[in-house]
Amino acid sequence: MQNENRRTFVRTVAITAASASRILGANDRVNVAVVGLGGRGRAHMQAWSTVPGTRISALCDVDQAALERGQTQVSRNGAEKPAGYADMRKLFEDKNVDAVSMPLPNHWHALSAIWACQAGKDVYIEKPACYNVFEGRKMIEAARKYKRMVQVGSQSRSTPHKMEAIAKLQGGVIGKLYQAKGVCYKRRKSIGRKPDEPVPPGVDWDLFLGPAPKRAYNELRFKYNWHWFWDTGNGDIGNQGVHEMDLARWALGVGMPKSVVSTGGKYAYNDDQETPNTQLARFDYGDSEIIFDVHGLITDHDGALPFDGQNCVGNVYYGLDGYMALDDKGYQIYKGEKRELVEDVKAERKNTTALHMENFIKGVKSRNPKDLSAEIEIGVISADLCHLANISYRVKRRLELDPSGEKFRNDAEANKLLTRDYRKPYVVPENV
């Protein structure tokens, strides 16, 4: 970005949040911008088109072709063509934007959310809330300082049958819980290998990289496959797994663990992927534990959880009186020594992203963070479990957390991975 544009943005974010955004009444329409228009971005645009009392007023993407496709999609849904931006910082200056919905690559979550809060925008940020532990703390600080509503895209928290299942677990339906196990048996084919190449026309590669190290353009590091590189993603434990991790700790009513250990590897494939395709993590809470299991290769299903196509994704909860299996299709409760099926609930087919967005808009209008079902602090703690597991995996040992829960005991190598070296000017600030 040119220096003059940067100065303009700094002046903008210096405005207090109260004066930077209009005051919304209960019946006012909320103008939403979508930043990041890949596959998940297209899902966001479709979901927002169904949320009452909202309109998509602007779109942003570093890829001009994606931006134009997004504008066409919104128009086809019967809405006015939204404004288009290549740089989110310019979008944040737009007074016709009240809230931003940002299905961005993980490495952009914190800085984009902080900038948006500073500019007086409410924020719906996709999961995982943050790319690393340090960033999550800064996001919470920004939300509090600028009095912004910040919702994380953990839509399970707004999904009726999952809310019902967790309430039953917390009410003692299977007795005292001692373990929650999440699984992500999600089939992932090899990404192969590709050489670096010139940046495609219409793509701002520097903006895509943002806080990540400068690298030559490579198709495998762009679009969906950024998940599998440490510069930009957190592997499947931070992609699909964060949903199950959130559901696990929600039922147990726990935050940061006493210790973590994670093992595994990238097996079978000889390709450019860096993150593991097989990973097992255990989080110790003293009187209970969370276990999480990733299998990207062909595998069997996990006991009580069925396959859905090639995938088996969900949670199993164990208590003194029985166990519960929970996934997107419903939940089943088994009790007693004979493990009898006593309840089998089928989920209604709903757009759970749209339900979660409706909850976000409720918070935008009420200005009460407690109205958000996945407020930023909730999302950050669940993301932190993924980060702790990945750090243990990368340093190859069990790690103990100190009493604050924000760093490891006597392990400088592991503590260094709680943050990253940022590429200027895309620096997540210590002081938000």
pLDDT tens over the chain, length 432 residues: 444 344 444 444 444 444 445 666 656 899 999 999 999 999 999 999 999 999 999 999 999 999 999 999 999 988 999 999 999 999 999 999 999 999 999 999 999 999 999 999 999 999 999 999 999 999 999 999 999 999 999 999 999 999 999 999 999 999 999 999 999 999 999 999 999 999 999 999 999 999 999 999 999 999 999 999 999 999 999 999 999 999 999 999 999 999 999 999 999 999 999 999 999 999 999 999 999 999 999 999 888 999 988 999 999 999 999 999 999 999 999 999 999 999 999 999 999 999 999 999 999 999 999 999 999 999 999 999 999 999 999 999 999 999 888 899 999 999 999 999 999 999 999 999
Give dist(CA 154, CA 127) in Å, integer: 6
Residues 6 or more apart from 242 whose CB is under 8 A from it?
127, 128, 154, 382, 383, 385, 386
The burial of 201, by beta-carbon neighbours within 10 Å (0-12 exposed, 13-18 middle, 19 or more buried), is given as exposed
Give dist(CA 276, CA 266) in Å, integer: 4
User: The sheet that has 122-125: what strands, in order across it?
Assistant: 83-85, 54-60, 30-35, 99-102, 122-125, 150-152
Domains of the chain and CATH, by start: 3-157+353-374 (3.40.50.720), 159-189+221-347+383-408 (3.30.360.10)
Q: In terms of Cα–Cα distance, which of 122, 20, 133 is closest to 382?
A: 133
User: The sheet that has 259-265: what strands, in order across it?
Assistant: 340-346, 330-335, 322-327, 312-319, 177-185, 289-295, 278-284, 259-265, 399-400
By DSSP bridging, strand 177-185 and strand 289-295 are parallel
- Residue the block writes with tokens 């592991």: 414
pTM value?
A: 0.94
Q: Which residues pair with 183 in a beta bridge?
A: 293, 314
- Taking every pair of C-alpha atoms in the chain, what is the biggest distance, in angstroms? 71
Q: For residue 153, how far is the Cα from the chain centroid?
A: 6
